[in-house]
């Protein structure tokens, strides 16, 4: 590489690195530092003693088992559905695929509201007495993450050459044997990758556990929130943050190890029509879809059910500040605030995501280059797993005074949300860029195209749908972001998820009804965005 090319790469890498340093590492370090240096001197013993508290043990145990169980269930539900939705061809399969991916982008508070309504003693499933139980929390976590399994494993499944399975069948292996000896070993990396990401999401889930766990159940994430906001025990919060960070780095490392680029030159699997022996799998998938749709359908129905019959009364109430003035601004205003912020966050995530994706998708010639590229890739995946609460609180305590004072800046929330959405953009765009045959770039260069021209002529046309899809994805995720935003949103400029949380925390039937209507609006907005994204048919959206 020439000196000039080195400088160009360094300049490209500088922007995202600086942004990551200032808006991710600095706040997180600030939050952690607050706990490690309570009085200006290192207090490791104090931090360690936090980990010995019985309540912390309970929280850790709940985090591990709820996330583990939810991951296992998501895999069990998702793998058969991945086969049906990615290897079979039948009318409406596209619609079902979209339906399955929706829960992942639904705002956590919306899911919390939907599940609470469903299982409340007076709700449709009230007879099951699930309200406030751990089972309900696990169900909500599964609800969110089935789509990750379907997407990731489905993408792997599409990449598997069906002829290997056919060869096994002609050698005398029964369908079950074929699956166990040929298909499953091929899918394992995908399943492992999906499971590790799902475990990551479940163990750092915030909105769902906060809205559904009440006082009985807390995971590490909600505990950090409670410790910082209610008990002001920053040392304990920092201890949990550090523990979480270490575990997440290990998990991300494992996930990166199992995540393999699909083999080049593979034969594209041809989806086939369902046969009679697929019946059980089709029914299984139908059950998964019902499980995913029930909370949403019942939420929509309840939102149009007023005291005097069906009507849009709860939606009209969105123009007010709620029963007993629960809010400072009407819900409609919060919606506009949310849309504005999400647009800013998506734009920011796109710019940064493009730079990162470009750099990690290059084929580096030196071992040093490859190693740096991997570290770079991993560093920008970190926000995926680092507690949004830690990030939000870190923003609050580090970016409110020089050298970086953004306390009153309208950019504060968009930046925080962009950091949360950035890994998703990278994971959507980078695989597409990696799929471009290097020889195409070489051919363009040999025909006289400069580096920029190569980028425009070879990479851009391939990556364009992915870029648009990633922008939409980032927008949808920002729209529903709750963890970090809940710290940063000011009471007079709240976002819609924050408003929904306020409404359900305030007493009053009317407030919960308004929360349901607002949830439907928010879910509708993210769904519309995701439907448009789905039409672009970019396989890497929501796959890890």
Partner 1 sequence: MPGLEIHGLTVRFDGAAAVDAVDLDVPAGSVTAVLGPSGSGKSTLLRAVAGLEPPAAGSIRYDGRDLASTPTHRRGFALMFQDGQLFPHQTVGRNVGYALRLRRPAWRRGARPEEGRRVDELLELVGLAGYRDRMPGTLSGGERQRVALARSLAVEPRMLLLDEPLSALDRDLRERLAAELHDILRRAGTTTLLVTHDQEEAFAIADRMAVLRSGRLVQAGSVTDVWRQPADAWTARFLGYATVIDGAGAAALRALVDPAATWTQLALRRSAIRLDPGGPLRARVLSARVTPEQLRLELEVDGVGRLPAVAEPGLVVTVGETVRARVVPDRLAALPQGR
Cβ contacts of 293 within 8 Å, gap of 6 or more: 99
Q: How far is the CB of 49 from partner 1 (least distance, A)?
A: 48
Residues 344, 191: Cα–Cα separation, whole Å: 34
What is the contact surface with partner 1 in residues (CB under 8 A)?
A: 161, 163-164, 166-175, 177-178, 181-182, 185-186, 275
Alpha helices in 481-544 (DSSP H): 485-488, 496-505, 509-535
> What H or E segment, with its residue span, contains residue 439?
helix 438-446
* Residue appearing with tokens 């070489």: 442
Q: In 305-398, where do the E strands start and end?
A: 305-306, 309-310
Contact present, 83 and 149 (Cβ < 8 Å): no
Residues 193, 415: Cα–Cα separation, whole Å: 28
Contact present, 278 and 284 (Cβ < 8 Å): no
Q: How far is the CB of 262 from partner 1 (least distance, A)?
A: 13
* Residue appearing with tokens 């949380």: 501
Q: How far is the CB of 193 from partner 1 (least distance, A)?
A: 16
**4 or 275: CB nearest partner 1:** 275
**58 or 260: CB nearest partner 1:** 260
Structure tokens at 360: 């990690």
**93 or 249: CB nearest partner 1:** 93
CB atoms within 10 A of CB 153: 27
Q: How far is the CB of 276 from partner 1 (least distance, A)?
A: 11
**178 or 433: CB nearest partner 1:** 178
**275 or 365: CB nearest partner 1:** 275
Structure tokens at 167: 């060869």
DSSP state of 179: I
**134 or 173: CB nearest partner 1:** 173
Q: Which residues pair with 405 in a beta bridge?
A: 400
Q: How far is the CB of 265 from partner 1 (least distance, A)?
A: 10
Q: How far is the CB of 271 from partner 1 (least distance, A)?
A: 12
**272 or 363: CB nearest partner 1:** 272
Q: How far is the CB of 272 from partner 1 (least distance, A)?
A: 9
Q: How many CA atoms lie within 13 A of 68 on its CB side?
A: 6
């Amino acid at each position: 590489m020439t000196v000039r090319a080195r400088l160009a790469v360094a300049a490209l890498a500088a922007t995202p690195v600086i942004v990551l340093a200032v808006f991710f590492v600095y706040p997180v370090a600030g939050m952690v530092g607050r706990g490690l240096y309570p009085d200006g001197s290192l207090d490791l013993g104090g931090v360690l003693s936090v980990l010995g508290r019985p309540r912390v043990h309970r929280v850790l145990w709940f985090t591990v088992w709820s996330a583990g169980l939810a991951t296992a269930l998501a895999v069990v539900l998702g793998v058969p559905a991945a086969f049906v939705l990615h290897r079979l061809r039948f009318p409406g399969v596209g619609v079902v695929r979209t339906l399955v991916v929706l829960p992942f982008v639904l705002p956590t508070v919306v899911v919390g509201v939907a599940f609470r309504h469903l299982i409340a003693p007076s709700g449709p499933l009230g007879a099951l007495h699930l309200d406030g139980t751990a089972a309900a929390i696990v169900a909500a976590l599964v609800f969110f993450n089935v789509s990750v399994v379907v997407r990731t494993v489905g993408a792997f499944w599409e990449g598997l050459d069906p002829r290997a399975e056919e060869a096994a069948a002609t050698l005398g292996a029964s369908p079950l044997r074929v699956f166990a000896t040929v298909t499953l070993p091929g899918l394992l990396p995908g399943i492992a990758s999906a499971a590790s990401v799902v475990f990551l999401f479940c163990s750092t889930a915030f909105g769902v556990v906060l809205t559904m766990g009440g006082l009985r159940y807390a995971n590490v994430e909600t505990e950090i929130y409670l410790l910082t906001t209610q008990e002001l025990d920053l040392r304990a919060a920092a201890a949990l943050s550090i523990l979480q960070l270490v575990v997440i780095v290990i998990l991300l490392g494992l996930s990166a190890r199992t995540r393999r680029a699909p083999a080049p030159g593979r034969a594209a699997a041809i989806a086939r029509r369902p046969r009679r022996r697929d019946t059980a799998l089709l029914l299984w998938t139908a059950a998964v879809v019902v499980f995913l749709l029930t909370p949403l359908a019942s939420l929509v129905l309840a939102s149009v059910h007023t005291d005097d019959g069906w009507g849009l009364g709860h939606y009209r109430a969105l123009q007010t500040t709620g029963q007993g003035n629960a809010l400072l601004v009407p819900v409609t205003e919060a919606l506009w605030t949310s849309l504005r912020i999400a647009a800013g966050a998506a734009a920011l995530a796109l710019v940064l995501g493009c730079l990162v994706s470009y750099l990690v998708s290059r084929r580096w010639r030196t071992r040093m280059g490859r190693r740096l590229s991997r570290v770079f890739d991993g560093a920008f995946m970190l926000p995926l797993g680092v507690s949004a609460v830690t990030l939000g609180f870190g923003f609050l305590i580090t970016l409110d005074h020089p050298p970086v004072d953004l306390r009153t800046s309208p950019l504060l929330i968009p930046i925080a949300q962009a950091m949360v959405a950035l890994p998703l953009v990278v994971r959507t765009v980078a695989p597409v860029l990696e799929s471009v045959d290097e020889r195409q770039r070489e051919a363009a260069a040999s025909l006289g195209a400069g580096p920029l021209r190569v980028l425009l002529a070879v990479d851009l046309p391939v990556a364009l749908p992915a870029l648009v899809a990633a922008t939409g994805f980032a927008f949808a995720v920002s729209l529903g972001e709750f963890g970090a935003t809940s710290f940063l949103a000011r009471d007079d400029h709240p976002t819609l998820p924050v408003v929904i949380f306020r409404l359900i925390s305030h007493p009053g039937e009317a407030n919960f009804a308004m929360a349901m209507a607002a949830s439907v609006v928010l879910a509708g907005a993210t769904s519309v965005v995701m439907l448009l994204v789905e039409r672009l048919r970019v396989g890497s959206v929501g796959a890890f």
